[in-house]
Structure 1
Amino acid sequence: MARRHKIKIKTPHEIGRMRIAGAIASEVLLELAKAIEPGRTTLEIDQLAAELMRQRECKSAFLGYRGQSGPFKGQICISVNEEVVHGLGGPRKIQPGDVVKLDVGIVKNGWIGDNAITVAVGDVPDETRRLLIATEESLFAAISHARAGERLADLCGSVEEYVKPLGFTVVRDFVGHGVGRDLHEAPQVPNYRPQGKSPILEPGMILAIEPMVNAGVRTVRILDDGWTVVTTDGKPSAHFEHTVLITEGEPELLTWRPRGVPGL
C-alpha cells in the first residue's frame, strides 16, 4: 500500500458517533439527489447542501479542505458527466441526459460521515445507464469483502474485477480511504488490486469505499480551478461511496440508503 500508517480501530463509543455522522451524511445526500432536475445550477445544489447541513447542526467536511491550489470552496463535490470527482458548484445548469455525481461529507460532533451517489437526469444513453449500474454494483462487490479476516487487497481488487469485463475502467489517481475524526485516514482504498503486502481487516476499522469508474479510458486530468477532475477522453464517469464499518459479522453501512441509481 502507498501508506503504511497504522489503521485506527474505533471504540464502541467512537463507532456510535460515526453512526450518527453517517446517518446525517446519508440524509443530506438523498435530499440533494431529489433536488437534481433540469434547469437548476450546480451552485444552487451546493447552497441547498449548506442549508440542509445547517438544519442538522453539522458542517461540511469539504469546505476549506486544503489542496495544492488552495482551500476547497464548495459545501459538497458536484460533478457532471465527464467530471469524475471534486467538482465545484457554479453556473453550470443541469440538463436532461446528464449524470450528476454528488459527494457529501459532513462533520457532526467531530466525526465524519462520507458518501456519494450518481444521479441520472431523465433519459441517459444505454452505455451510461450500464456504467451507473455497474459502478454501484462494484461498490457492493467491494463491501462484500469488508469483513474481519479478509485482505484489504481483495476488497480493492473486486471493483476493477467487476467492471473491467463490462468494458469500463477504474480511476487510479484517486482512491477511497479510512475515515473517522479526519476525512482521510489510513489506509488508502484503491479500486484496483494494490501491490505488496496488504493489511488484514479487523473489527472497528471504518473505510470510505468509493468506486470511480469511467466509460472510456481510465486517465484523468484536473481543470484550471485546481480541483475538478475530468476524464481525458470526455466520456462520462460514475461515482458511488459508502462509509463502511468492519464488524465481527456482516459489514455495516454507516451511510445506509436504499440501493439503486436515482433516476434509472
Structure 2
Amino acid sequence: MARTPVLAAGGIVLRQSRPRLIAVVRLRKGEWVLPKGKLDDGETPRDAAEREVLEETGHDVSVHEFLGTLAYDAGGRPKIVHYWRMETQGGPTRDLMRDVIAVDWLPLEAAVERLSRDHERAFLANVGPLALESAALARRSREMKVAQPAKRPRRRSVAKPTSAISPPVAPVADEAAIERNGVEHGVIERNVIERDVIQHEALLPDDDAIDAFASLLTREIAPSSAEAERFDAGSSRAIGAEAIVARDNATSEAPHGSRVNVMQRVRGWLRRAV
C-alpha cells in the first residue's frame, strides 16, 4: 500500500551582494541542507516556503519565480519539496528556530559542496545557475528603470473655440479716482465739447466779415472810370429828354444794380459754405 507523500516547500535564498550568495542552514543533528519545511494544514506551498525560510534563516525574503520540485524518500515515505527563488537584504529580523543552529551564505559552487545530501546537491547544481541568472536580469531591469527618466504623458491638443469679435466697449470711469480728484467724468466731457465748439465758432466768419469779403470780390466787377466815360459818350449822342433820362438812369442805377446782385450771390455762397 502506497503511503501518502509528505508535502514541503522551501527556497533558494539569494542575498543581494556581489557575488550573489546562497543560504544553507545547519540542522541540530549536524546536516547542512537547503531551508525548507512541511506545509501546515490549509497552507499553500508558496506560503509555507516563505514561512519556513523566515524561521530557518531569520531573514525576511521576497518570493519570485518557481524553480522546480525535488522528490525523494524520507524515512520510508516519499517527500515532495517545491522551491522558489527568494531574495533578502540586510540582516536577520528574528531568531532561528530551535532545530537550526547556524546559517551560512556561500557562492553557488561552495554552497553545492557544503550540502550534506546528494539529491539536494544535484538539485542546487541544476537550478542554482537559473536562479542567479534571473536575479541578475531583474537587477538590470531595476537599474534601467531608475536611470531612465519617467515618460511624461503626451498632452492632447485641444482646439480653442473661436470667440466672436465684440464691439469696443467704452472705458468705465473709475469712481474712486473721480472721488479723489473731485471731478466727474461727465463734467470733463462737457468741458471738452464746449471748448471744441468755441474753437470751431472762432474760426467761422460773422455776417460783417462775409459782407466785406463779398464786397471785395465784387469790386472788380464794378465799371471803371474809362468804361463810365465811354458809357457817357455813347449816351450824349442821344437826342432829347428821354435820352438824357435814360443816360442818367443807366449811369446811376445800372452799374450799381449789377454789383448788388453779384454781392448777394457771393454772400449766399459764403454762408452756405460756412
Q: TM class, shorter-chain normalised?
A: under 0.3
With structure 1 as the length reference, what TM-score do the two structures score?
0.21
